[in-house]
Structure 1
Amino acid sequence: MSIENKRYLKDNKYLDWLAGITDGDGCFTISKKGYVSFELTVETSNLKCLYRIKTVFGGNIKPGKGKWHRYKLHHKEGIINIVNSLNGRLRNPVRILQLDKVCALYNIKLLDTPSLNYSSNWLSGFFDADGSIYINTTFVQVFISISQKDKYLLDQIAFVYGGKVYPHGTTNTFKWIVNKKIEVLAMTEYFKKFPLISKKMIRANLIPSIYEGYSRNWHKKRLNMVEEKKWKELLEKWSNYDI
């Protein structure tokens, strides 16, 4: 590992992001022979997230089924580095239990994770994994949300960042939703301080323009009007952010 990459092992902002995306899309596994591996799968459009991890810890990135890519790490030095990096930062109970088994294998003490606070980059990593930003064009309402099978993590997020947690019966999940303008804009300020690595950041950056366009009535249909053209172009950027 280069000196440049080693600095990330002491960079709290990077490590909190790593913990967040791991809580969302990562996992530790131990084979019957006692070999440990770490894996993380993302949509191909967000491949940048995987390279951000591979650059620091090594490992391999391979295409999976459909529009997915998988990062896999299994050499011992890399595993120990990533275990030490995530120890005391994970919040997902499932992921903590996985880490606990790996720590026991390597005689590493499992550390407690402090309470979530606003100035943690953990949410950006978790959002890169499981978050979404979408808009109701009829009412010009922006939604920032995260879905999970369990509401444990979502309740923590709502307590710190606002929004509410709702059951989503059709998918048997829970969803944290921010849709009040003042809270949505507060989240855009958070993402400015703690940028998303995924392409979801493109939509996060467009949110203020969406609200501005609405306040200027760009969304109201006026044939051959400059405002209508601006609104159409803005929605095209919003819709095509993953291209």
Structure 2
Amino acid sequence: MTDKRKGSSETIRAICTEDISNINTLSKNRYNDNNDPQLFKDWLAGLIDANGSLLVSKNRYTSCEITVSEKQLILLTLVKRNVGGTIQKRSGSSAFRWRLHNRPGMLNLLFTINSRLLLPRRCDQFKTVCKQFNFLCLERNHFSSDNAWLAGFFEFEGYFRVNKTNLQLGITLTQKEKGLLQDIANEMGGRIYYDKSWDGWLYSASSKNDIAKWIKYFSRFPLISWKQIQLFRFKKILLYKSRGVHLSKDSKSWLRFKRLVSHF
């Protein structure tokens, strides 16, 4: 009889060992529009879906904004490099805002993300902006794990989690609407739960096979903000667990494992 747990542990060890050593190689300049326009377009749409706003003022001026914490500033730097706009520190906080509002820049942005936004409320904003330019709004794509949209979306809406009591690891996403999370679960595995504490939905992947899907995805479409470092630590914990380090409490490796978990 085949030991399925052994097989999944070997899979975890293989993908974690390979990816940890190359964590910066894949992500450096990966989403530069000049290197791969299609990759950048999907990644940018994921960012805007997760934490952006497409706006029309009372005077019918259009704009797009993304606000981030200081730890995510690299995201805005990359967006500005490829589509223009300005970055300003928000007064009285440690947050930064990227804003694009000039007409040529907005038209270029509409071309860039047309059909690539997936969140219904963001698609509605996009349509409203398109009307100001008489711009043809294409039907939105379906979710696919074969492009960089999910990497951009995860930068804001995704989390790596470690339960320090039972050492259970998981990957989560949250949304007010269930539909998009269900599309993600259909391809990436995992389950969806309703959370009445905030009247929203939680996606969670915790099995070895589902987590392996996510790690393989990020090896193709890497994270680039501080969450890249979280992914690095997450994979190290996975790797230690797959080797049974968490069970041998007298070893030096166990001390490193314990320190890694406590600081996660």
Show CA shifts across 1:157-214 (max 9, x none): 1112111111111122101111111111220110010001221122223333212312
Quick check: 2:117–2:141 contact (8 Å CA) kept in 1?
Answer: no
User: Residues 28-43 of structure 1 correspond to what in structure 2 (within 5 A)?
Assistant: 28-43=54-69
Residue of structure 1 in register with 2:76 after alignment: 50
**Structure 1 pair 215/96, CA: closer, same or farther in 2 (3 Å)?**
closer
Question: Take 2:241 and 2:188, find their aligned partners in 1: how far apart are those partners?
Answer: 25
Quick check: 2:160–2:234 contact (8 Å CA) kept in 1?
Answer: no
Question: Take 2:195 and 2:218, find their aligned partners in 1: how far apart are those partners?
Answer: 26
TM-score, normalization: structure 1? 0.88
Of 213-222 and 148-157, more deviation after overlay is shown by: 213-222
Residue of structure 1 in register with 2:138 after alignment: 111
**Structure 1 pair 122/6, CA: closer, same or farther in 2 (3 Å)?**
closer
CA-atom RMSD in angstroms? 1.9
Q: Which has the higher contact order (CA 8 A, sep 6+)?
A: 2
Question: Take 1:207 and 1:69, find their aligned partners in 2: how far apart are those partners?
Answer: 27
User: Residues 31-110 of structure 1 correspond to what in structure 2 (within 5 A)?
Assistant: 31-64=57-90, 65-110=92-137
Question: Take 1:130 and 1:66, find their aligned partners in 2: how far apart are those partners?
Answer: 21
**Structure 1 pair 88/56, CA: closer, same or farther in 2 (3 Å)?**
same
User: Residues 1-243 of structure 1 correspond to what in structure 2 (within 5 A)?
Assistant: 7=34, 11-64=37-90, 65-220=92-247, 222=249, 225-235=251-261, 239=264
Quick check: 1:218–1:230 contact (8 Å CA) kept in 2?
Answer: no
State the 1:6 CA deviation: 6.4
State the 1:69 CA deviation: 1.5
Amino acid at match of 1:7: N
| Identity among equivalent pairs (%) | 31
Question: Take 1:177 and 1:61, find their aligned partners in 2: how far apart are those partners?
Answer: 33
Partner secondary structure for residue 62 of structure 1: strand
Show CA shifts across 1:93-152 (max 9, x none): 111111111111111100012222221111111101211111012222111111111112
Question: Take 1:76 and 1:6, find their aligned partners in 2: how far apart are those partners?
Answer: 20
Partner secondary structure for residue 138 of structure 2: coil
Quick check: 2:47–2:153 contact (8 Å CA) kept in 1?
Answer: yes
**Structure 1 pair 167/37, CA: closer, same or farther in 2 (3 Å)?**
same
Unaligned runs of 5+ in 2: 1-31
**Structure 1 pair 56/74, CA: closer, same or farther in 2 (3 Å)?**
same
Quick check: 1:91–1:113 contact (8 Å CA) kept in 2?
Answer: yes
**Structure 1 pair 6/142, CA: closer, same or farther in 2 (3 Å)?**
closer
Question: Take 1:27 and 1:229, find their aligned partners in 2: how far apart are those partners?
Answer: 45
Amino acid at match of 1:171: W
Quick check: 1:61–1:71 contact (8 Å CA) kept in 2?
Answer: yes
